[in-house]
Structure 1
Amino acid sequence: MLPAPTPADPHGTNRSTSATIQPNILRYLVMVADERGVDLRPLLSQVGLDETLMRSAALRVSYRQGSAVIRRALELTGDERLGLRVGAAQHLTAWGLLGFALLADDTLRHAIETGVKYQNLSGAMTVWSTGVGEDGAFFLRADLPDPAIDPSVASFLIEEGLASVVTLSRLAVGPDFAPRVVEFSSSPPPRQRELYGALFGCPVRFRAPADRIVIDPAWARAAMHGRDPVTYASTLETLDAQLASRTDQQDLLEVLEVSVAQSLPVIPSFGEQARRHATSERTLRRRLADCGTTYEALAEGVRRERVEQLLLRPELTLRDIAHRAGFSDERALRRAVRRWHGTSPVQLREQLLRAAAHRE
């Protein structure tokens, strides 16, 4: 029995669904979908992410945007194991400066621990932690920031995360790398089970207590091919500065989202929010731009989340939901749900209730 993971740096592991992330997963998702003949670009545009934005190194997307794109991509491709394919397509260069730091690190274990510490800079949509078993086995565990997330999106994120770690480890220490075992907390997939063995190259267990990769001590000590202590140290200085700035940005977004959520069905004006934060509208707008978002997008995300919560209450009519979420009438609610989910409020309610029943 492996012990519970050791908590990593708190600034690296804390993530809520209000956080923003680098769109690395979405970029690779678009690439993999293209190979399967599915164009996700119109879908990205629907959630405010056009091609110009997606090419920006400074872009950050919300967890809600990412989840919406993943959910729809699964529907369009019909591929239940899409997460495995996206994880297997990745490269450390997509992680920017963090990827460079990992390549210059000393050993595979230390590189993984560095990645966990700075995970909020990597574009991960899971929360990672590490631990060591009694026999010396090193493990990396993946958890979801929102346990109530759509089951199909949850499965995608866990499979993408574990697959990407194994793929990137092989690029860093050699193609022969294989974990001791990969464990999933979910049930065995009904189809395509052969993909797991082919990708991970080790035993794969399902219905496990947690989602994780267990690595033998010899592989954990494996030297990184590009190790360079000087480069590694200098890169970390820059990453530390980025992480501090990132934390400030995340705090701002969470405070604004709480403010909007508490005010519904009325949405505070932008000017009112600036006054509440004792700043000018220009400064607040610039700070939000640095976060890769706008106040309008943030407020819409809060309303979207509120609508999804209210739809889980069967006693509420669509008129009730429209009023409580700040919409002028049912028609405005229907248009918004169609824009967000590509379906009607009634159909979305059915999907959400089924997902809730499945979790129970």
Structure 2
Amino acid sequence: MPMPRRPFPDNTPGTSRSTSATIPPNILRYLALVADGYGVDLHSELTRVGLDETVMRSAGLRVSYRQGSAVIRRAVELTGDAHLGLRVGAAQHLTAWGLLGFAQLAAETLRDAVETGVRFQNLSGAMVVWSADEEETGYVLRADLPDPALDPTVAVFLAEEAFASVVTLTRLSAGVEFAPQSVEFAFPAPPDMHPFTELFRCAVRFAADVNRMVFPMVWARRPMPGRDPVTYAATVEVLEQAMASRRDQQDLLEVLEISIAQSLPDVPSVVEQARRHASSERTLRRRLAECGTTYEAVVDGVRRERVEQLLYRSEATMRDIARQAGFSDVRALRRAVRRWHGVAPRQLRAREGRVGS
């Protein structure tokens, strides 16, 4: 049962918006389980990006694309598995996506299940952008990366996880004999093709223009074993309400981030922000909690984005960066960068080929 889903409904990665708490942490939960099988404990990495064990158990938790990418990158490094995404996708269960998965189980056909996933992809916790359409070759499912300049390690993981989960969940829900007509990945061919052909059981091509999977039309039209029009309609109604709520939350986060970014190096207090929104501090904090975040976390995310922009895209001195990002001094900047990345600002800049100032 495919899981088409998207992290940011109206967002261009690379802007301050990318620091928002926006997606359920489904991928990270399965990543931690798979990594544990390698003897790798990701708890410290999750905590490093602000996701401790208690937080990860929260049903209302939303994590940022940046948090997810940081943990994925580190997990690939620690496990030594360049194709960890395949394992994570193949480890997933029918219950992974909550009500959205339930709606897909109750859909009339496999194609209807896919299109339901595309429609409500923002609710499922994906880190790719899904789309689907019928073409001459068959029913085509695409998984686009939200940022073409994404770290290659993370990009490979996300493409692999996306299609591995599609195949695994389709077999669990519609038939174990399912095999795509073809699978194409935009990244270069790996030295060992066996894990791909073993999982997908079809032709797999690399260095393609896009990440795409082609369903045979006979499978796209295949009735879902659990189809139930009444249950499907009732579940979709709940999903639509959740989507409306998520849009309101995203609007709030976007307005706050823009306000903070425009105010730097000064940072408006939460009381001031509440006044700007004709609200009380308590109400604003409650609304942010419903988004799975806090005002302090939003400020931290905007500052982080500003620091990285200055480190990567300019030759500003550390003193200038600290000032422009609203830090009291260079020492406060260093502490923040070490918390975010585990290295000093000059080391982070060196990774991008910049000369420290």
Structure 1: which 5+ residue stretches go unaligned?
Answer: 1-7, 355-360
Counterpart residue identity of residue 169, structure 1: T
Shift in Å at residue 257 of structure 1? 1.1
12-21 vs 203-212, greater mean Cα deviation: 12-21
TM-score computed with the length of structure 2 as normaliser: 0.91
Distance 1:78 1:314, change over 3 A: farther
User: What's the counterpart of residue 207 of structure 2?
Assistant: 207
Distance 1:96 1:15, change over 3 A: farther
Counterpart residue identity of residue 172, structure 1: S
Q: Is the 8 A contact 2:337 2:343 kept in 1?
A: yes
* Distance (Å, rounded) in 1 between the aligned partners of 2:8 and 2:321: 36
* Distance (Å, rounded) in 2 between the aligned partners of 1:10 and 1:27: 17
Secondary structure at the counterpart of residue 213 of structure 1: strand
Cα-to-partner distance string for 1:280-326 (whole Å, 9 max, x where unaligned): 11111000000000011111111111222111135222222222222
1:156 and 2:157 matched: yes
Q: Is the 8 A contact 2:7 2:126 kept in 1?
A: no
Secondary structure at the counterpart of residue 20 of structure 1: coil
Q: Is the 8 A contact 2:8 2:22 kept in 1?
A: no
Secondary structure at the counterpart of residue 141 of structure 1: strand
Runs of 4+ in structure 1 deviating by more than 3 angstroms, as ranges, are 8-16
User: What's the counterpart of residue 140 of structure 1?
Assistant: 141
Q: Is the 8 A contact 1:257 1:299 kept in 2?
A: yes
Shift in Å at residue 192 of structure 1? 3.6
Shift in Å at residue 11 of structure 1? 11
Secondary structure at the counterpart of residue 142 of structure 1: strand
Cα-to-partner distance string for 1:101-139 (whole Å, 9 max, x where unaligned): 11111111110110010011101111111111124x111
Cα-to-partner distance string for 1:65-99 (whole Å, 9 max, x where unaligned): 21222122222222211111111111120111111
Shift in Å at residue 145 of structure 1? 2.0
User: What's the counterpart of residue 278 of structure 2?
Assistant: 278
User: What's the counterpart of residue 5 of structure 1?
Assistant: none
Q: Is the 8 A contact 1:15 1:127 kept in 2?
A: no
* Distance (Å, rounded) in 2 between the aligned partners of 1:146 and 1:71: 16
Q: Is the 8 A contact 1:11 1:243 kept in 2?
A: no
Q: Is the 8 A contact 2:322 2:328 kept in 1?
A: yes
Structure 2: which 5+ residue stretches go unaligned?
Answer: 13-17
Counterpart residue identity of residue 83, structure 1: G
Shift in Å at residue 247 of structure 1? 0.8
User: What's the counterpart of residue 4 of structure 1?
Assistant: none
User: What's the counterpart of residue 108 of structure 2?
Assistant: 106
Secondary structure at the counterpart of residue 132 of structure 1: strand
Matches within 5 A, 1:27-176: 27-135=29-137, 137-176=138-177
Counterpart residue identity of residue 156, structure 1: F
Q: Is the 8 A contact 1:68 1:340 kept in 2?
A: no
Q: Is the 8 A contact 1:33 1:77 kept in 2?
A: yes
User: What's the counterpart of residue 338 of structure 1?
Assistant: 338
Shift in Å at residue 178 of structure 1? 0.9
* Distance (Å, rounded) in 1 between the aligned partners of 2:324 and 2:316: 10
* Distance (Å, rounded) in 2 between the aligned partners of 1:107 and 1:36: 37
User: What's the counterpart of residue 313 of structure 1?
Assistant: 313
Percentage identity across paired residues of the two chains: 67
User: What's the counterpart of residue 3 of structure 1?
Assistant: none
Distance 1:46 1:258, change over 3 A: same
Cα-to-partner distance string for 1:129-169 (whole Å, 9 max, x where unaligned): 1111124x111111122233222222211211121111111
* Distance (Å, rounded) in 1 between the aligned partners of 2:72 and 2:148: 16
Q: Is the 8 A contact 1:64 1:301 kept in 2?
A: no
Distance 1:12 1:216, change over 3 A: farther
Counterpart residue identity of residue 257, structure 2: E
Counterpart residue identity of residue 85, structure 1: R
Secondary structure at the counterpart of residue 170 of structure 2: helix
Counterpart residue identity of residue 113, structure 1: E
Secondary structure at the counterpart of residue 278 of structure 1: coil
Q: Is the 8 A contact 1:43 1:69 kept in 2?
A: yes
RMSD (Å) for aligned C-alpha atoms: 2.0
* Distance (Å, rounded) in 1 between the aligned partners of 2:5 and 2:47: 35
User: What's the counterpart of residue 323 of structure 1?
Assistant: 323
Shift in Å at residue 54 of structure 1? 1.1
Counterpart residue identity of residue 308, structure 1: E
Matches within 5 A, 1:176-187: 176-187=177-188
Distance 1:320 1:151, change over 3 A: farther
Q: Is the 8 A contact 2:310 2:316 kept in 1?
A: yes
1:21 and 2:23 matched: yes
Shift in Å at residue 203 of structure 1? 1.0
Distance 1:265 1:291, change over 3 A: same
